[in-house]
Structure 1
Amino acid sequence: MREITTIVTTAGRPDDVSMALAAFACKKLKISFEPRKKRSVRKISQEMQAHVIVAGKNRYDYYAFEASEPFFFHPNSAAFRLKRVARGETDPFLEAMQLNAGDSVLDCTLGLAADAMLAAYTVGESGRVIGLEANPNVAFIVERGMQTYDTSELPLTDCMRQIEVIQTEAVTYLKSLPDSAFDVVYMDPMFEEIIEEATNFEALRFAGEHLALTDDWINEARRVAKKRVVLKAHFRSEWFEQYGFQQLTRVTAKFHYGVLKA
C-alpha cells in the first residue's frame, strides 16, 4: 500500500478567495493541489490515497484518510469558558495551572487550543503561551484558524492571536529547551478511554496524533517546568499514580487534572 500523503483541493464551486486559500495551504505545507472536478472529497481521497485539506470560502476543512467527518477550527468550549472566567468564576484547568500574569506556558498537546486560550487570558500580554502540535495538518488548521477566525468577542480574539503554534512532537521540543524554560508545562494526551459525551473532539481524535505518556516525556517536562507540570487525563487513568501526580478529583467529571510541583 502506498504512503498516505496530503493534498489540497477547493470547495465544490471555488471562487478567487478559496483558490487563494488553497494556494496558501500548498505553499505553507509544501504539498500539491488537486482540482475538485465535481468529485466528492471522499472520492478524491480514495483516488489519491491521501488526506485532503479543503479550502472553502471562510475556513479550511481537514479530512483525514477514511474519516467520515472533517476537522476544522472553532473556538468551541473556550468561548463560554472565557466568559465565565471573565465574570470571576473558577475553571478546573486554571485551578490546576495556578497561573499568574506574566507566566510562560508550554502546552504540549495543543489540539483545538481551548485550554491554551484560557492560559493566554490569565497570563496576559506580558506572558507567553506556546502550543505544540505533532500533526502538521492539524497544526496548520488550528494556527490559521486562530489567526483568522472572524469574531468580535473579547477577550476571545486577543487570546487566540496571542498563542504561538509550533509543529513538532512534544518530547523532541522539550529536549531542545534549557532547564526551567517555562513556568508551567501542560499535557493533555488523547484519553486512553473514549468519553462518549465528547463528540466535538471526535474529528480531532481521528485526525490528530495519538501519543501516550512516557518516562522520557515526564522527565523532560519536569526539567523544563519552573513551577509545575499539569496533566489532564481520564479519571481512571493509571498515569496519575504511575508518575506521582497529585490527582485533583472532581466527583461529576470524567477527566481529572494532576499536578507535579517542581
Structure 2
Amino acid sequence: MIVTTAGKFDASLTEKARTAAAEMKAKFVRRGNDSIQTLKEKYAQDIVMIGKNKTVYHPLHSDEPFFFHPNSSMFRAKQWLRGEGDPLVSAAGLKKGSSFLDCTLGLASDSTIASLAIGAGGKVTGIEESAAVRMIVKSGLSIWETGLKEMDQAMRRIEVQGGHHLDVLKSLPDSSYDIVYFDPMFEQSIQTSAGLSGLKQVASYSLLTVEAINEAKRVAKERVVLKENRASPLFKKFGFKVIPRSSRFWFGTLEKRSAHV
C-alpha cells in the first residue's frame, strides 16, 4: 500500500501522510505531479491519499474510491435529536455516562449514535482491525462537519483502536465497559453494497467465535449486544435473547448474569 498527499506540496500534509504511512506500515511516496492513476500504474498497489479535509482510499483494481461519510448515521442522529429514539440505544440500554465498546467499528455509524446517546460523560471505543479502514474512519471522525453540532461532538469523542477484537478484549480488565457490541453485518454490507465495493480488499472479515463472546461477557459490566440478520444462526448459537423488529436486522442481548456459552 502507498500513502501520498492530495494535490500541491504542503509540508504539514506531507508530515501527516508520513505519520499515516508509519501507522499502516505502508510506504510514503511524494505525490509530485502524478495523478492517482499514474501512481497505481507505477507502483501496482492500493493508494491512500491524505488531504486537509479528507482521507481517500483508492483500490488498485477499482475505479471506486472510498472515503468516510457519516450519511448512514445522519438520519438516525436527527431522529434521536428529535426524541424519537434509536433501536441500538434501546437494545443496549444506553444512557448518559455509559461506556460502550464497539468490536466491529466499520464506518462508525453505530458508535456515533452510541456516543450521541451517552454524551460527554460517557465513553465510546471502536475496534477496527483493517489499518486502511481505521485510518480513513479515524480521520473522518475527527474532521467531518455534518452541520449538526451534537453529532459532530459525538464523532469527535469516539476513540478508535486498532487490532483484532479478540486480542483487544483479552487485554481489557473484567467489567471495564458497560456494553460490548458486535455488528458482523457490516461485513455483509461491504459484499453487497456498490458504494462500499472499494473496501472489499482491505476490510476485516473475522468470524465471531465462542472465545470472543466469552471474553466480551467478561469485559461487559451489563450486557453484550449482537446485531445480525433476522435469520442468523448466531443468536441461537451463542444464546442471545432476540429483540424482534420489523427490520431485516435484529438485535440480541446476553445479560452479564447469563452463564458462559
TM band (smaller chain) = 0.7 to 0.9
Q: Distance in 1 between matches of 2:2 and 2:47?
A: 5
Structure 2-normalised TM-score? 0.87
| AA partner of residue 55 (structure 1) | I
Q: Distance in 2 between matches of 1:242 and 1:132?
A: 23
Q: Which position in structure 2 is the counterpart of 1:103?
A: 98
Shift of 1:14: 2.5
Percent of residue pairs bearing the same amino acid type? 40
Shift of 1:173: 0.6
Conservation of the 8 A alpha-carbon contact between 1:190 and 1:205: no
Structure 1-normalised TM-score? 0.87
Pairing partner for 1:77 from 53, 72, 78: 72
State the secondary structure of the residue aligned to 1:155. helix
Q: Which position in structure 2 is the counterpart of 1:187?
A: 182
CA RMSD after TM alignment:
2.4
State the secondary structure of the residue aligned to 2:222. strand
| Between structures 1 and 2, the one with greater helix share | 2
For the pair 1:124 / 2:119, whether they are aligned, the reply is yes
Pairing partner for 1:258 from 252, 256, 260: 252
State the secondary structure of the residue aligned to 1:207. coil
Structure 1 residue runs without a partner (length 5+): 1-5
Q: 1:89 to 1:169 in 2, by over 3 A?
A: same
For the pair 1:159 / 2:149, whether they are aligned, the reply is no
Q: 1:42 to 1:245 in 2, by over 3 A?
A: farther
Q: Which position in structure 2 is the counterpart of 1:61?
A: 56
For the pair 1:139 / 2:134, whether they are aligned, the reply is yes
Q: 1:232 to 1:43 in 2, by over 3 A?
A: farther
For the pair 1:209 / 2:188, whether they are aligned, the reply is no
Q: Which position in structure 1 is the counterpart of 2:259?
A: none
Pairing partner for 2:84 from 83, 89, 92: 89
Q: Distance in 2 between matches of 1:193 and 1:121?
A: 25
Shift of 1:33: 2.1
For the pair 1:245 / 2:222, whether they are aligned, the reply is no
Q: Distance in 1 between matches of 2:149 and 2:192?
A: 28
Q: 1:15 to 1:207 in 2, by over 3 A?
A: same
206-215 or 54-63: bigger deviation: 54-63
Q: Distance in 1 between matches of 2:41 and 2:245?
A: 44
Q: Distance in 2 between matches of 1:169 and 1:226?
A: 21
Conservation of the 8 A alpha-carbon contact between 1:190 and 1:210: no
Q: Distance in 2 between matches of 1:227 and 1:97?
A: 9
Shift of 1:255: 1.8
Q: Which position in structure 1 is the counterpart of 2:227?
A: 232
For the pair 1:113 / 2:102, whether they are aligned, the reply is no
Structure 2 residue runs without a partner (length 5+): 257-261
Shift of 1:48: 2.4
| AA partner of residue 212 (structure 1) | L
Q: Distance in 1 between matches of 2:231 and 2:8?
A: 47
State the secondary structure of the residue aligned to 1:208. coil
